[in-house]
Structure 1
Amino acid sequence: MTNVLLIQPILKPLALRLLSNTPYSPGRSDRVKSLKTWRGEPMPHKHELFPDKLVDLHGHPMRVVTFHFPPRIFMEEDSDGNYNLYGVDIEVVRSLSKALNFTVSFVRPSDGEMWGWEQGNGTWTGLMGDLQHRKADIGVADLYIMEPYFAIIDMSLAYDIEYLCFVNPVPGPLPQWMALGLPFLVETWGAIFCTVLVGMLVFTLLAQMGFLGGHLHEAPWFQNGSNTCLLLVACVMNTAWTRVPTTSHLRIFMALWSLAFVILAVAYKGSLVSYLTVTLEQPPIDTHKQLLERGVSVGSIGDTLKRIMEKNADQHVRKLAQGYEQVQSTSEGLRRTVEGEAGHVLRTEVPTLKALHSQRHRFPALAPAGSFSFLESRGFLDYTIAVDYTDGRGRASLHAMKEYIAPFGIGLAYPKYVPFIAKFNRMIRRLTEAGLAEKYMADIILRRKQAKIGAAAEREGDQKERLGSDPESGVTPLSLDNLQGGFILLALGYGLGLLSAMAEGLFALATRPSESLARR
């Protein structure tokens, strides 16, 4: 308690001694402090009777319970067995300790759990349990300010905002043969197909009208409709003309036709090169509806987030909560997510070209469903994916969904009814208004990037030293996988040509007896 006033009568001379407590005094002898001796003069002001006793905590030791949870908290052990702690949440606590003059000692949860969860008798384990049983003064570990916690602990104002979302496996690249159709949208392919059909009809009609109009000097080759169609297809493919018309109306038509398809061919070739050399990834799952349609079970640590999902305004989130499963740690949740993807690789559904082009800039999720999707904060997922689930080429194997369940404020946790909550809140409000939380996060990201770049440069230097030169020239030749679309078309042409030859041969054999009989 901080606002305590003690009144002690003094008989000689007749007066009243006013005293107060100093709850965070450095020694036991200083815990009672004399404020004033009152001898009948006007009563003291309120600020004299109840001074601010939390402006200086006189180095009072505070026990802070936390654990390793990047990028909020890094707990790295050195060679001497000591822990080097840093991170956004750690820096917030240290800023408060400097401003209010108290000392901190960081400890892990006494039972080895992380946040913990509620037991059947109403007690909690982990960090929450230590605060509930007053084994610590402050708890910090990416703590969401949520209503279920207030039954056992108190929490501060939010000093940062975090978003709760699911993580899913990255579905992987599309088959390379689909690159042949990706340069154009489905509507463009439809327009080209219709244009070719209409152009064949118009050109055949113009040729026949020319012959009927007396243009007999035109080559008889153009009287055949299949010949004119073959000529137009050759122009579409930018190949040389097999025949050249002599009449003006056909030449005008052919000139404009060739010019139009030169433009289309150049655009197609330019885009095709990029799709052949750079593999297009399948769109990942990004909405709760897509996750629900694929029958994926979800889960996280404890069941607190399950209760949050059950009360969510989105009906898809409430249905996902029915398949919620508890996991013991973040590593287990991520492992189950990755293994779920591995178990469904053989059941990958190849997306259609129409599905890909229907939303070029906002792909639907076409990935195979994994068996489990882990739920955690976006900051933690983005960091973990970048550090642990991204290969040397920068390709990630996990993807954090864009759609999130809800935003949550991040705050400090305390045992119930501790006296310094209001004072801490005022200091936290100043900290957030100054933008220090964002600065702490930027410094952490920069520090991790510099460490990763330094390690990569060291490995590259060692590799160059072993090889004596650059290990790679930077040029990657196209493989059979890149060009599989062309070979598939070639095989299709071989097959269709063989089938047509067989059909013509069978037709000739079937009609030959009737022809000989007609001659007789």
Structure 2
Amino acid sequence: MRGGSTVDWCTLLVVCAGISQCASNTSPVLGQRGTVPFSPPHPWPRHSHDGANSSNYLETHASTRTHVLGTQTLASFKRRRNNTTFHNEPEMNSATSSVEELGGLIRQVVEIALDGCSLLIALDLIYSRSPLLTQLESLPHPKQVVVVRNAEDLLSVLWDGKLCRAYLFLLHNTQPLLDFAKRDFSAWDYYGKFVIVGLDMEKFEALTYTKKGRKTQHIVGIMKSESYGEWRVYMNQLYASQRVAFVSTWRSSHFTRKPDLFPDKISNLHGFQLNVGTIEFPPAVIYRYGPERQRHVYGRDVGVLRALAKTMNFTINFVEPPTGEVWGKRLPNGTWTGIVGMLGSGVADIAIANIFITSVWGRKEHQHFSSPFHQSVNCVMLRVPRPEPRWQAPLWPFTEETWLALAVGLLLSGPVLNCLAHYSAGSLHKASYLESLTSSYLHVTAMHLREPVAPEPNTNTSRVMVVFLWLYGMVLEVSYCSNLTAFLTVTRQPRTIDTFQAFQDSDLGIVGLGPLFGSLMDHSVNKYLKELSKRFISLSSDPESWVTDGRAGYISSRQYLKYTMAKINSEHRAPFVRVMKECAWPFSVSVALQSYSPLKPKIDEVVTRIAESGLVSYWFEESTRTATQNRRKPQRQTTERKEETSDRGRVMALSIDHMQGVFYILTICYLSTILLFLAELTVGRWEERNTRN
């Protein structure tokens, strides 16, 4: 102060404001919870937070000194009020001038940078009756005023405004603000504009290092300079080597240079390196290693990430969770492992790896999601069942029911024809042309096979029945031969599993990466999925081997399974695995971010444009094609595969493999004939022996 007085300017500010009564607990100007009870045109509602998601976050950069300036000033004023006489009137004028300079500065900031925003004014006891508050009350902005005694008073602030929100803090005692910045992480407007008066450089940097400060895009600090009537303005920086940047100086009622108080700090990150959490999960993220083990990362989600990096001008540093943790799971203490844990702890700034937008196990409390760029459902991949043996080909043209009907028809036709022939001939006094029931069966069988028979019917009744049996046999033979030709030239697959009901009826297990799908099945309203959850096995790696071994089905997103199926079938040069037709749980896929990340609005904008352009589908197809070509292994083709992949225009000759069913019939014929011959020989000798006796 000029004049060599030992009275500090804050004490003079109190004198000028005439607020000695502020030290009393019965101050008439303070309402409940420290809110000044004036009535703006549209008062803001109160908003409370339970702080359930708060945690003790140690800020190593924060100041450990507690400087309760306001209380000290009031106490000093009370002690000096009766002992101090201000003989130097310019000292009081100097303090008033300083307040006026600050008021002009704040009004200028509001006018040039906060036009159209609602305004929250948070001040402590010293500022609560300052002429500065009167100046701010005259602003045309909608306002909420809160007097801050401790961190709890800031809970009365409405932090979730949807429109432009500005927050003006006028504090001599800044410790409540620093304490509040380390707790109640949901009680904060991460996209608001903050102007803070009262912090020195050390405490301003400490604020920018708190969890709230690190994720708030716009924080401006106004600090008193050592020069009379001069104030210096600083702002925080998010993705830069320095956390604080100088903006401008306020001197003689104007800025020394035009300030840009709230610039866009996200659209251009100026090459800043972001840590991107990921795992190898084709086709979203695919690893390819060069001859010197250098890793090249590509895939559908990597294409989205590289487009974001190019648009927002940042560099990428891939980081992975510990082996086996994949996306992560919630631990009993509430923390997470895997990718979710990396985002929650700040190890990763963003993450990709086919990440679903879901709130299972309170996931949204630890990570947030961008706009979706892909929609997917989750299906089950199964091994293609082994083909049925070709010796069964003669049985394939008809179903089991058809074969049963043919057997019944054959059994009935023999006795019916025999009876008609015998009794019809007897009524006409003729000899029957069928000697016995055996001859009748041979006659009917020959007609089924469209073979000529020697004896001809000698009655009209028999002739009519024989004619219809010939017609019946002709239709059967043509139908059978046509289907038999087709079945001899193709490989017949057994009935496949295409529904969760059929899967539940089988003896297969079901596996998945991580515990997510097991939990989804257990909470499903589908009774078959709920039963399958009892067989679910959570794996950390290599679920495909369970499928190729035929032990289980693998549940995952359909695009991932399509990629995996193409890779496995390409390696085997034949259909080896397939995807079940029935699927479940449609999900949206997005980029994962830290909770309350300032990157979210810009990433949402870019991701939406990428999804609308159709590039995501292109990156998926390109990744699948590249991976399939890189992993294809040349294998020797068997005779069967060569035949199945031959040119469609060629006429296929039937091999011994195709005709094995015919030779099985011939073998059965030989065996049955020999057995019957031996039986007849045995019976003949037995009868001859009885005749001799």
Q: How does 1:374-389 map to 2 (within 5 A)?
A: 374-389=554-569
Aligned residue for 1:349?
Answer: none
Map 1:199-238 onto structure 2 (within 5 A).
199-214=413-428, 216=430, 220-238=432-450
Q: Residue 222 of structure 1 aligns to a residue in which SS?
A: coil
- The equivalent residue for 1:3 is 192
Q: 1:278 maps to which residue? A: 490
1:302-355 deviations in Å (ceiling 9; x for gaps) = 3333222221222333333334333231x2x2224444x3xxxxxxxxxxxxxx
- Native 8 Å contact 1:179 1:485 kept in 2: yes
Tell me how large the CA RMSD over aligned residues is. 4.2
Q: Distance in 2 between matches of 1:157 and 1:374?
A: 28
Give me the whole-angstrom Cα distance separating, in 2, the residues matched to 1:253 and 1:34: 113
Aligned length: 458
Q: Which moved more, 1:286-295 or 1:102-111?
A: 286-295
**Structure 2 vs 1, CA of residues 328 and 182 (structure 1 numbering), >3 Å: closer, same or farther?**
same
Please give the residue correspondences for 1:21-420 in structure 2 after superposition, counting only pairs within 5 Å. 23-24=238-239, 28=242, 31=245, 54-79=266-291, 81-99=293-311, 101-109=312-320, 111-113=322-324, 114-119=326-331, 121-147=333-359, 148=361, 149-214=363-428, 216=430, 220-245=432-457, 250-329=462-541, 331=542, 333-339=543-549, 341=550, 370=551, 372-390=552-570, 392-396=572-576, 398-420=577-599
Q: Which runs of 5+ in 1 are unaligned?
A: 41-47, 342-369, 461-472
The CA deviation at 1:140 is 0.4
1:142 aligned counterpart, secondary structure:
strand
1:478 to 2:655 alignment: yes
Q: Could you tell me which amino acid in structure 1 is paired with residue 283 of structure 2?
A: P
Farther-moved stretch of structure 1 (404-413 vs 504-513): 504-513
The partner residue of 2:616 within 426, 437, 450 is: 437
Secondary structure of 1:221's match? coil
Which protein shows a greater Rg?
2
Give the letter for the 1:302 counterpart.
G
Closer, same or farther: CA 56–403 of 1 in aligned 2, 3 Å: same
Looking at structure 1, the residues matched to 690 and 654 of structure 2 have their Cα atoms a distance apart, in angstroms, of 58
Assess, with a 3 A threshold, how the Cα gap between structure 1 residues 96 and 321 changes in structure 2: closer, same or farther: same
Structure-2 change in CA distance of 1:512 and 1:9 (3 Å):
closer
Greater relative contact order (CA < 8 Å, ≥ 6 in sequence): 1
Distance 1:278 1:36, change over 3 A: farther
Q: Return closer, same or farther for 1:87/1:56 CA change in 2, 3 Å cut-off.
A: same
Paired position in structure 2 for 1:428: 607
The 2-side partners of 1:188 and 1:417 are apart by 67
What letter corresponds to residue 288 of structure 2 in structure 1? E
Q: 1:474 and 1:212, CA in 2 relative to 1: closer, same or farther beyond 3 A?
A: closer
Which of 485, 493, 506 lines up with 2:669 in the alignment?
493
Shift of 1:294: 4.3
1:344-387 deviations in Å (ceiling 9; x for gaps): xxxxxxxxxxxxxxxxxxxxxxxxxx3x4443333223322321
Contact 1:2 1:23 in 2 (8 A): no
Q: Deviation of residue 90 (structure 1)?
A: 0.8
User: In 2 relative to 1, CA 207–476 (structure 1 residues): closer, same or farther, beyond 3 Å?
Assistant: closer
Query: Does the Cα contact within 8 Å between 1:6 and 1:19 map onto a contact in 2?
Result: no
Measured against aligned partners, the alpha-carbon deviations of 1:389-413 in whole angstroms (never above 9, x if no partner) come to 55554131x3433333422221111
Moved more, 85-94 or 437-446: 437-446
For residue 475 of structure 1, report the CA deviation from its aligned partner: 5.9
Distance in 1 (CA, whole Å) between partners of 2:653 and 2:314 is: 57
Taking a change above 3 Å as real, the CA distance of residues 222 and 298 of structure 1, as seen in their structure-2 partners, is closer
Deviation (angstroms), 1:419: 1.4
CA contact (8 A) 2:377 2:557 kept: yes
Q: Provide the rounded CA distance (Å) in 2 between the counterparts of 1:320 and 1:29.
A: 52
Q: How far apart in 2 are the matches of 1:69 and 1:189? A: 50
Could you report, residue by residue, the CA deviation over 1:55-99 in whole angstroms, capped at 9, with x for unpaired residues?
Answer: 444444322222332222222223455433221101112222334
- Alpha-carbon spacing, 1:271–1:434, altered in 2? closer, same or farther (3 Å): same
CA deviation after TM superposition for structure 1 residue 29, in Å? 9.3
The farther-off stretch of 130-139 and 419-428 is 419-428
1 CA distance for matches of 2:384 and 2:625?
26
Q: 1:15 to 1:434 in 2, by over 3 A?
A: farther
Q: Does structure 1 retain, via aligned residues, the 8 Å contact 2:390–2:661?
A: yes
Q: SS where residue 521 of structure 2 aligns?
A: helix
Report sequence identity in percent: 25
When the two structures are superposed, what TM-score results if normalisation uses the length of structure 2? 0.57
Instruction: Give the TM-score of the pair, scaled to structure 1.
Output: 0.73
Structure 1 pair 227–324 and aligned structure 2 pair: CA distance change class (3 A)? closer
